[in-house]
Amino acid sequence: MSTKDQLSSLKGGFLEQRSNKELIEGILFSLPYLATFSLFLLYPLLKGGYMSLFEWNPFFPSESEFIGVQNYARMMSDGAFWNSLGNTLYFVVLTVPMIVIFSLGLALGVNRDIKGRGVLRAVFFSPYILTVSVAALIWIELYATGYGPINSYLSLTGINPPAWLQSYTWAMPAIAFMTMWWISGFSFVILLSARQSVPEYLYEAAKLDGAGSWRAFRDITLPQMRHAIFFVVIINLVWSFQIFGQPYIMTHGGPGKETETLVMYLYNVAFNQRNFGYAAALGYVLTGILVVVSFANYYLFRGNNE
Amino acid sequence: MSEKTESSYGVTALTEETIRSITIHAVMYGTAFLFLIPYAWMISSSLKTSQEALSPNPSWIPHTITFEWYIRLLTETFIVQWLINTLIIALSTTVLVLVVDSMIAFAITRLDWPGQRYILGIIIASFMVPGFVNIIPLFTLISDLGLINNYLAVVLPFAAGPIGVFLLVQFFKEIPYELQEAAQLDGFSTFRIYLQIILPLSKSVLTALGLFIFVWSWNQFLWPLIVLQQEKAYTLPIGIVTVRNTYTYQPALVMASAMIASVPLFLVFLAVQDKLISAVEMQGVT
Amino acid sequence: MEISYWTLLTGGDGEIMVKLIKRFNDEQPLGDVTISRQRVPWDEYYNRLFTAMTSNEAPNLAICHGAYLRRFSDLVVPIGDLMSNTNYVKQILDACTIDDEIRAVPMDSHPVGLYYNEDILKEAGVTNTPFDDFSQFEEACNKIRDETDYTPFGPSPNTGVEHRQYLTSIASLGGKLVETGGDGPKAVFDQGPGLEAAEYYASVSGERKWDIPDTSEDRVNREFLAGNIGFMVHGTWTVNRLRDVDFNWNMMKPYVTPNATQLRTAADSHTLILPDPKMSDERIKTTVKVAEWLTQNNPEWGAEAGHLPAYIPTLESDDLRNAEIWDVTLKDFMEMAQNGQLAYYPQLENFDIYDQTNWTWLLDAYAHNVSPKEAVSNGVQTWNSNL
């Protein structure tokens, strides 16, 4: 039964004036949130669109010059924009599959008859409650050349380790790896809870049919967990696209501009190059990309599973 | 003959099961061990002398334990002020979100008025709006309002997020309508129904949401970085990054600052681990 | 009245600035006027100053590098008429004058020099210090490389190499970073001296084997302080970091560029600006007086922070000549200044010249990620798209 049906059956033959009273109360109860929401979310969203059509003057906004879609056109030939888009996609490709598969593995492992399940769950989840600065600062030290433990131990084995965060090849993977440690816990908890709500009798039935564990995984676990997996993929996609803190703190976008991501570029355009209009246009385009990717992913999953 | 095959088959199955179990234990505990290494490094480095922290031979237990860095942080930087700022911002965001979000969720699920579906639709659609798209116009708005360096510059935009409304709407929907009806017959006002029936019944979801918002706002980085410009106004996540820039090459001090920034949250985590985890689970289910 | 004041100074000179302000607040030379200092981290300083200015949160007074004055010149209060005294080194005062108006009070000049670990040089058998050309420096580095286990030359303490060393070399070769023509400034370092300087620094971490191609932050600083590096090129303020080291050190003029046609050293100035045009006239007047006090009554800015004061009476004072640091560093810096050997950074309107992202190409050359030729051409491309 829908909310609507329940409400109308509840109200039965109440008078029209009741409805008016509920309208007023409804508005009063909604007002505080709607005011915040409109002022600090909707209004900026619209104003951003407006600003993106201007050569915005941050000091004297009224002197801003209307330039139509030039800010959008500029992106086409802006090498730094394409570079940051490429870097962001690379980061997404590195992290999303890795985090999803890794946290699925952890969830399935912890779901088994394992001693100390509560402790394991707490350990795997814990990095997620750290702020990005703490996570980044710790890993700067772990990756450090000269005294960092990772390189010290690698040198012992005779490998000549790279300067992780200064290397063209390794800087982004190093950030991706640190990110996996940092945020996998969120996906892990969701996948674990989804796995635990798969009814056991399905597995017992499959066992009676002689299905091995691989088939049980493929035919029961995956389909039963698909909503949770879908959610985890989407949320990681959205997060990865918005990566800012890790490269901002760990590499400043270097070496070269290898780890300058979209949001970092937007930040630099706004507060370093002082081009608010272009930055607002960038924000809009990034949102567009994000929406398209989310929907594409949605249809992809639909197609596979239903 | 057949009996023997039977039993040897049983033995094999048992050992296979055991080996499997041992392997899984080893893999899971091995991974857990690796997960803890960064913490161990943070804790041990924060207690090392400058020289030992920079030594090319890593040590996990400092030869000489020193609290020098903690003392320097507490006396030479604004870290205590940052802790207070972060606490105030996280707490007021949490309270504000719980109050305004539960009110509108109540209006959407428990009252019948035209337009509520569209409003919910718009709020849910705003999930699609990533935070960064708004930073430029929001920055100009906050600065026009004269709120730069003010707690409100962080709290208000955080409170505009849709997640709380979404979760509470899901939960409030499931509360039986008979309760509300009975209360109405007893002459309860709408406000009393909200305050004395719906809210107490939603304690678990409110706690979970509150914890999640608390941790989330404690950890925010990009937005506070933009609107909190005075050293005294920083939050911990911003402050400790500037500490690293100020004290060049003192990894021990940086790790001590990371400790100070994370220990309060770890304490919260240890105290209410299950509730926090259920807050995350809730987001996956809905 | 409380004057809000932003600084970006860290470490050595930052401490001296704190002392200077404390002295001001204790003595209260302008009556009931105090300074409230706020330190903003280097990395974010100019971004923050900009956002503060757009949101009416700008401080009354702020430090600004000479190289950044043109970037803020439209928005700061012109103060020429309010200054009681303009007895500052002409070259620095000229840099503070933009569009015929004095827009900043000069505080100092801070060129770079060649710092060295005397113990390492001794061990390598180098005794002919100070050098007066590149070949002596080259010979010393080779000796350290061949005779000892130490690293001969880490050009910059921060990231292996950076703008200070590069500008020093490009100017020593007679070149420029940016050419200002009819259609605005253009980066020109992708050929001639610019390319030559990049090739040279790539060779320092390459075939010369004077350093390793590692551009980690602070590596050279850490190793130099630990006594493992022979030479390093850095600014006047480095003396403060070297106070507590347990080896003997010294400084000389930076003859670090092969084929140099002249001696040049990269220099910039700290200046004081009034970034809030909405201040009342009375506040503006008081703030200018504060700025004058800070730049004129600051013997410690030279004697302890190691900078060359911009105020001529302080620069020529006996106090400075008698300071311990005079013979170690300031004398050389002073000589270079008097001989016109300071190479100042170009003042660019639309360019954040110290921002690391504008120099990553140089690190690429040093780390041998790309060839020097490719690096300078990447660099010029980045610069010109922003200029």
E strand or H helix at C152, and its extent? strand C151-153
Domain ranges of chain B: 2-68, 77-285
Domain ranges of chain A: 78-305
Q: How far is CA C219 from the centre of its chain?
A: 19
Q: Which chains does chain A touch, 3 or more C-beta pairs < 8 A?
A: B, C
More confident residue, A10 or B55: B55
Closest residue in chain A to residue B124, using alpha carbons only: A37
Could you say which DSSP state residue C311 is in? B
Instruction: Give the burial string for C371-387 (b: 16+ CB within 10 Å, else e).
Output: ebeebbbbbbebbeebb
> How many other CB atoms sit within 10 Å of the CB of residue A16?
6
Question: Going by C-beta distance under 8 Å and a sequence separation of 6 or more, which residues neighbour residue C173?
Answer: C192, C193, C196, C197, C257, C259, C260, C261
Q: What is the ipTM of this complex?
A: 0.88
Contact A179, A95 (CB under 8 A): yes
3-state secondary structure at position C354: coil
Cβ within 8 Å, pair C57-B231: no
> How many other CB atoms sit within 10 Å of the CB of residue B263?
12
State how far the Cα of B88 lies from the Cα of B94, in Å rounded to an integer.
Answer: 10
Q: Measured between CB atoms, does C52 come within 8 Å of chain A?
A: no
Residue B92 tokens read as: 């007021």
The CATH architecture that domain B77-285 belongs to is Orthogonal Bundle (1.10)
Q: Is A143 exposed, middle or buried (0-12, 13-18, 19+ CB in 10 A)?
A: buried
For chain C, percent of residues with pLDDT exceeding 90:
61
Residue B185 tokens read as: 């017959």
CB pairs under 8 A between A and C: 64
Which chain A residues have a beta carbon less than 8 Å from that of B257?
137
C38, C52, C221 member nearest B248 (Cβ): C221
Which B positions 207-226 lie with beta carbon below 8 A of chain C? Answer: 226
Shortest Cα distance, chain B CAs vs residue A118, angstroms: 9
Q: Is A107 exposed, middle or buried (0-12, 13-18, 19+ CB in 10 A)?
A: buried
Question: For C90-146, what is each residue's pLDDT tens digit?
Answer: 888 988 998 889 999 999 999 999 999 999 999 999 999 899 999 999 999 999 999
Closest residue in chain C to residue A162, using alpha carbons only: C214
Residue B114 tokens read as: 């035209």
Do strands C34-39 and C2-7 pair parallel, antiparallel, or not at all (unpaired)?
A: parallel
Q: How confident is the model at residue B5 (pLDDT cuts 50, 70, 90)?
A: very low
Q: Measured between CB atoms, does B100 come within 8 Å of chain A?
A: yes
B54, B229, B231 member nearest C57 (Cβ): B229
Shortest Cα distance, chain A CAs vs residue C169, angstroms: 22
Domains and CATH numbers, chain C: 2-107+269-297 (3.40.190.10), 111-267+344-386 (3.40.190.10)
- pLDDT at residue A211, rounded to an integer: 80
Question: What are the φ and ψ backbone dihedral angles of C336, each rounded to 5 degrees?
Answer: -65, -40
Which chain C residues have a beta carbon less than 8 Å from that of A260?
357
Q: Measured between CB atoms, does C54 come within 8 Å of chain A?
A: yes
Do strands C342-344 and C265-268 pair parallel, antiparallel, or not at all (unpaired)?
A: parallel
Question: For A145-202, what is each residue's pLDDT tens digit?
Answer: 888 999 989 988 888 888 899 888 999 999 999 999 999 999 999 999 999 888 888 8
Mean pLDDT (chain C, rounded): 91
B142, B231, B245 member nearest C38 (Cβ): B231
Of A200-204, A246-250, C253-257, C308-312, minimum mean pLDDT range:
A200-204
Shortest Cα distance, chain B CAs vs residue A65, angstroms: 16
Cβ within 8 Å, pair A45-B134: yes
For chain B, percent of residues with pLDDT exceeding 90:
52
State how far the Cα of A189 lies from the Cα of A186, in Å rounded to an integer.
Answer: 5
Q: How confident is the model at residue B274 (pLDDT cuts 50, 70, 90)?
A: confident
Q: How confident is the model at residue C15 (pLDDT cuts 50, 70, 90)?
A: confident
- pLDDT at residue B13, rounded to an integer: 60
Question: Going by C-beta distance under 8 Å and a sequence separation of 6 or more, which residues neighbour residue B49?
Answer: B62, B64, B66, B68, B252
Amino acid at A17: Q
Check pLDDT > 80 for residue A8. no
Q: Which chains does chain B touch, 3 or more C-beta pairs < 8 A?
A: A, C
Cβ within 8 Å, pair A41-B134: yes
Cite the DSSP H helix spans in chain B: 2-46, 50-53, 68-76, 79-110, 116-125, 135-144, 151-159, 163-173, 177-185, 190-192, 199-201, 203-219, 222-227, 236-246, 251-271, 273-285
Check pLDDT > 80 for residue B179. yes
Mean pLDDT (chain B, rounded): 88
Closest residue in chain A to residue B113, using alpha carbons only: A23
A41, A242, A280 member nearest B160 (Cβ): A41
State how far the Cα of C256 lies from the Cα of C133, in Å rounded to an integer.
Answer: 8
Cβ within 8 Å, pair C216-A165: yes
Q: Measured between CB atoms, does B53 come within 8 Å of chain C?
A: no
State which fold the A78-305 domain adopts: MetI-like fold (1.10.3720)
Q: How confident is the model at residue C305 (pLDDT cuts 50, 70, 90)?
A: confident
State how far the Cα of C45 lies from the Cα of C292, in Å rounded to an integer.
Answer: 22
Q: How far is CA B158 from the centre of its chain?
A: 13
State how far the Cα of C134 lies from the Cα of C136, in Å rounded to an integer.
Answer: 5
- pLDDT at residue A306, rounded to an integer: 41
Contact B105, A4 (CB under 8 A): no
> How many other CB atoms sit within 10 Å of the CB of residue B268?
18
Q: Measured between CB atoms, does B62 come within 8 Å of chain A?
A: no
Question: For A194-244, what is each residue's pLDDT tens digit?
Answer: 998 888 888 888 888 888 888 888 888 998 898 889 889 988 998 899 999
Which A positions 155-174 lie with beta carbon below 8 A of chain B? Answer: none
Q: Measured between CB atoms, does B156 come within 8 Å of chain A?
A: yes
Stretch A44-68: mean pLDDT, rounded?
Answer: 90
Which chain C residues have a beta carbon less than 8 Å from that of B246?
10-11, 14, 39, 41
- pLDDT at residue C237, rounded to an integer: 85
Tell the residue number behind the tokens 């970006």, with chain if given: C8
Residue C321 tokens read as: 């000549």
> How many other CB atoms sit within 10 Å of the CB of residue B63?
10
Cis link prior to A255 (omega < 30° from 0)? yes
User: CA geometry: angle at B181 spanning B175 and B186, to 5°?
Assistant: 125
